């Protein structure tokens, strides 16, 4: 999309992509288009910002969470305390003498877009949490009043996370499979954020996508398996949990069992068969450890989206890139910040010392931020087109 794209054209694009799943009206899309168009025309920080002001706001372009919402950060629950803030690009107030890796610290999102366009960022790693999947409408089994919550209450879970605890699963597998039926891949449409990752891959820029999510929506969006590391596992494969067996079972076989409300058992040893989701009490997938050292050493831009960075060892991955590699956090709130040099994000260069400042921050909804970055890259039409084409194909398959 060019800066000259009319509001009506952008409204049409947003309407086609975002309203296909019934989440937005044409009027909302028109308003959003006007807002995003205005944001796209902002070349610098507004003149009326005081010296102490470190952010500027970009109005919302897609729906945000309500005050009652919460989401799973991998397998841990993050409570949402209010609506997503207006999309805000942080403007750092750097200490005297600290330089920045960003050519334009007043608009780091533009600097990052320029790095991508000029080829200085061409081996990008994306780290993602549940914040990129909230707009897909995945149900929350912990929210009172929902049918799924009611269905699980009869099992009298000792605590909500027991459903993802391996010892509890061995004794009482039924609650997990009730939940799995509701969460199983194929029932949800990937979000703009997922298709932005797909677009990075299509452009040959995605080195790897590390996700805490178990929903497989990156795969559904068309990201190739070899580009994905599912740090907490996923529904994509399943194995017998018998320690001496570990027979693998095809996803379709497990899906059929789950949707027929039967508990899958191994035909070799009769142990339970479980999707390869990492439960509490289990180790992370071998692939996670096999790839992380080489991947992060070669990364030249790290994008972190929709995660609280509370769950380790995933959270510590932000420290694995080179000390001069630019890092961008897109999230509802500031997370993962430094308390000492070299550990965590340093958005204001407080611990930079002789090293250049290299951390950028965008606060707000992940889909909105991906739309803004796509605009800066000239990718808006292609990004919205990917999602629209996916939804159209899905509609035809269900006719």
Residues annotated catalytic, as ranges: 232
Token couple for 206:
């995605």
Token couple for 313:
């060892």
Q: Which of 34, 61, 58 minimizes the C-alpha distance to 46?
A: 58
Handedness of CA 374, 379, 384, 387 (dihedral sign): negative
Token couple for 55:
């952010």
Q: Are strands 206-211 and 87-90 parallel, antiparallel or unpaired?
A: unpaired
In whole angstroms, what is the distance from residue 315 CA to residue 329 CA? 12
β-strand partners of 57 = 88
Q: What is the DSSP string of 178-222?
A: HHHHHH-TTSS---HHHHHHHHHHHTT-EEEEEE--SS-HHHHHT
Q: Are strands 55-58 and 70-73 parallel, antiparallel or unpaired?
A: unpaired
Q: How far is CA 171 from CA 137, 166, 183, 242, 272, in A?
A: 30, 9, 22, 13, 10
Give, as one character, the DSSP assignment of residue 165: B
H or E stretch covering 390 = helix 380-397
Distance from the Cα of residue 91 to its chain's centroid: 23
In whole angstroms, what is the distance from residue 363 CA to residue 8 CA? 27
In whole angstroms, what is the distance from residue 194 CA to residue 197 CA? 5
Q: Which of 84, 179, 180 minimizes the C-alpha distance to 131?
A: 84
In whole angstroms, what is the distance from residue 108 CA to residue 168 CA? 47
Q: Which of 258, 132, 126, 112 minimizes the C-alpha distance to 185?
A: 258
């Amino acid at each position: 999309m060019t800066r000259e794209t009319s509001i009506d054209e952008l409204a049409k694009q947003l309407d086609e992509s975002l309203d296909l799943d019934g989440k937005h009206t044409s009027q909302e899309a028109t308003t959003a288009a006007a807002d995003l168009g205005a944001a796209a025309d902002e070349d610098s920080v507004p003149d009326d910002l005081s010296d102490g002001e470190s952010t500027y706001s970009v109005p919302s372009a897609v729906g945000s969470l309500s005050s009652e919402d919460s989401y799973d950060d991998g397998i841990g629950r993050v409570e949402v305390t209010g609506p997503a803030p207006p999309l805000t690009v942080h403007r750092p107030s750097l200490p005297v003498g600290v330089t920045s890796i960003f050519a334009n610290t007043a608009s780091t999102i533009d600097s990052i877009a320029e790095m991508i366009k000029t080829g200085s960022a061409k081996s990008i790693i994306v780290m993602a949490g549940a914040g990129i999947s909230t707009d897909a409408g995945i149900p929350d089994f912990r929210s009172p009043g929902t049918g799924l919550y009611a269905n699980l209450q009869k099992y009298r879970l000792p605590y909500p996370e027991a459903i993802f605890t391996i010892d509890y699963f061995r004794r009482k597998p039924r609650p997990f499979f009730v939940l799995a039926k509701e969460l199983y891949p194929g029932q949800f449409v990937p979000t703009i954020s997922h298709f932005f990752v797909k677009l990075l891959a299509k452009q040959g820029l995605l080195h790897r996508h590390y996700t805490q999510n178990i929903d497989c929506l990156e795969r559904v969006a068309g990201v190739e398996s070899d580009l994905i590391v599912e740090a907490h596992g996923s529904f994509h494969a399943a194995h017998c949990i018998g320690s001496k067996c570990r027979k693998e079972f095809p996803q379709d076989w497990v899906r059929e069992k789950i949707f027929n409300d039967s508990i899958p058992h191994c035909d070799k040893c009769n142990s339970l068969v479980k999707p390869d989701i990492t439960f509490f009490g289990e180790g992370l997938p071998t692939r996670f450890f096999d790839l992380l050292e080489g991947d992060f050493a070669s990364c030249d831009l790290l994008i972190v989206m929709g995660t609280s960075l509370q769950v380790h060892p995933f959270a510590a991955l932000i420290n694995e890139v080179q000390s001069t590699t630019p890092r961008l956090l897109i999230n509802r709130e500031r997370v993962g910040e430094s308390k000492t040099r070299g550990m965590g994000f340093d958005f204001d260069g407080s611990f930079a010392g002789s090293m250049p400042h290299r951390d950028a921050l965008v606060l707000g909804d992940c889909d909105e931020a991906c739309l803004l970055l796509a605009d800066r890259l000239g990718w808006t039409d292609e990004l919205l087109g990917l999602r629209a084409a996916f939804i159209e194909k899905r509609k035809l398959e269900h006719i």
